[in-house]
Amino acid sequence: MLAAAPAPPGWNARLSAIGRRYRYLILNRRARPALLAGRVWHVPVPLDAAAMAEGAAFLIGRHDFTSFRAAACQAKSPLRTLDRLAVRREGELIVIEAEARSFLHHQVRNMVGTLEQVGRGARPPADIARILAAHDRSAAGPTAPAAGLTLMEVRYPAGLDPFAPPG
């Protein structure tokens, strides 16, 4: 079904959101992607998804995410609450899902780039806590490519959700 309706008074697509969910896909195999080209980050070396999940756990909660913030970020504060950061392997894919009310510019891609380093053994999982505490972008890993990132969901409060069914 396709429908259109006026937005409620005061509604703003970005500022009215109370939650966002992103998914990042890493294709973890030697062979380059064919059908998934442009939609995944291809990492040909083996990654330890369990170690990545262990590192991701340090990022959950309310923190100063300066170490994972892009230089061009215009947010007034680097404080964010990361509600969920899950890492799992599905065959040749490493699936990373992040949920929060809001994110800093490139925050998800910067977290993924650092977790990839954990996955290949370049950093121990506990290093994520040190990186977070450093409040220094240069302490973290590289920015993961944009190709693997997808915005999966945006949530709005009940009265301001223009996509909610009537009634």
pLDDT tens digits, residue range 82-105?
999 999 999 999 999 999 999 999
Residue 167 predicted with pLDDT over 70: no
pTM attached to this predicted model: 0.93
Question: Exposed, middle or buried by CB within 10 Å (0-12, 13-18, 19+), for 102?
Answer: middle
| CATH no. for 19-156 | 3.30.70.660
Q: What is the mean pLDDT of residues 123-143?
A: 98
- Check if the beta carbon of residue 126 is closer than 8 Å to that of residue 133: no
Three-state SS for 103?
coil
